[in-house]
Amino acid sequence: MSDVPKTDNRSHRQGIGEATQVVASLWFSVGKETLSVISLQAAKSHRNERIAVNVLRGAAVFVIFAIAVLIVYLAFEGTKTFSVDKFPVWKFLFSSDYDPGNNLGGSAVFITGTLLVTGFAIVVGGPFGIAVGVFLSEVAPARMAQILKPAIELLVGIPSVVYGWLGLTLLVPFLRTHTSSPSGFGLAAAGIVLSIMILPTVISLSEDAFRSLPVSLREGSMALGSTRWQMITGVLLPSASSGLTVALILGIARAIGEALAVQMVIGNSSQFPRGIFAPTASLTTEIVIDMGGAPQGSFQEHVLFSMALLLLLIAMALILLVRFALRGRG
């Protein structure tokens, strides 16, 4: 009984709809007469509880259903390349003969492109992001960190088309004039844009990883006469390794799935890049470019679905890796 008044209070706060319900239930109670007011309120609060639980359960079931449909549909359509069109899986993965009009679906160029731009982004943006995370957690004055942290988290919310647009208007002309690249479009442009895009994720998560380390580790190191730099490299970095791994993996996940910004600067040429500044294409950019023109049920559409399926599998593998890395944290 002790929680009844609390529940009742809450229902009063919920407004007119709830109020009419209360009136109705009181009227109902008068009609029944056998039940005391107290016990009827208890019953009502239990009914609310049941409704709430069912609403939440319904929401959860719907989401799980939607995700399941998505995965099953993608798996079904994505394997038609191999089941219906009899195109060998190994050719899809390792051949670069891509001419869907002539039933050639070798996607090695796009897979390579995805791996290269993502690798570029994580090699450049990863260490940089971790460095800023260390700075915010260990070096920056408290006031500065208080201002910078939300500012950086805000960057996550910038639409990718904005990053792509800035890449297109600032970075591509810069690369065109200052490098060997004739157009400026290419692997480097895409990699740099992605490096910047993953920074907020990596910074924010690696800062959290450092902040979650106990003060006792810092004190233990300082009490041995270490400098702050020795403490960071010798104790904090290795201690935060699982959290930093998560930061990097989620950075990779963000980079690998990005389509729009990459598509705007990568050059979209279905060939292996001949250098770091040469144009190429990735799984996401190829899907974006070709999906409009692919006839329904065609081989081309099937191949695009296969690429989408591959992206989904990579994303799933990354999430599993995160789980694995976090388990080490205990």
Q: How far is the CB of 220 from other proteins (least distance, A)?
A: 4
Segment 201 to 220, residues that bind other proteins, using CB under 8 A: 214, 216-220
Q: Which of 42, 166, 222, 237 binds other proteins (CB under 8 A)?
A: 222
Q: How far is the CB of 224 from other proteins (least distance, A)?
A: 4
88 CA to centre of own chain = 31
Cβ(117)–Cβ(190) under 8 Å?
A: yes
Segment 128 to 187, residues that bind other proteins, using CB under 8 A: 142
Stretch that binds other proteins, among 185-193, 203-211, 226-234, 273-281 (CB under 8 A): 226-234
292 in contact with other proteins (CB under 8 A):
no
Take residue 39 and report the two structure tokens written for it: 């016990």
Q: How far is the CB of 211 from other proteins (least distance, A)?
A: 13
Count of residues of this chain found to bind other proteins when the rule CB under 8 A is applied: 19
Q: Which pairs with CB-CB distance under 8 Å and at least 24 residues apart come from 304-309?
A: 305/74, 305/77, 305/78, 305/80, 305/81, 306/78, 306/79, 306/80, 306/81, 306/82, 306/92, 306/105, 306/107, 307/107, 307/110, 307/283, 308/74, 308/78, 309/74, 309/75, 309/77, 309/78, 309/79
Q: Which of 54, 227, 320, 324 binds other proteins (CB under 8 A)?
A: 227
Minimum CB distance to other proteins smaller for 214 or for 295: 214
234 in contact with other proteins (CB under 8 A):
yes
DSSP string covering 263-302, please?
A: HHHSB--SS--SSTTS-B--HHHHHHHHTTT--TTSHHHH
Q: Which of 160, 204, 221, 263 binds other proteins (CB under 8 A)?
A: 221
101 in contact with other proteins (CB under 8 A):
no
Q: Per-residue x/- mask for other proteins, residues 237 to 256, rule CB under 8 A?
A: -xx-----------------
Take residue 256 and report the two structure tokens written for it: 């690998």
Tell me the C-alpha distance between 138 and 207, whole Å.
9
Residues of this chain that bind other proteins (CB under 8 A): 142, 214, 216-227, 230, 234-235, 238-239
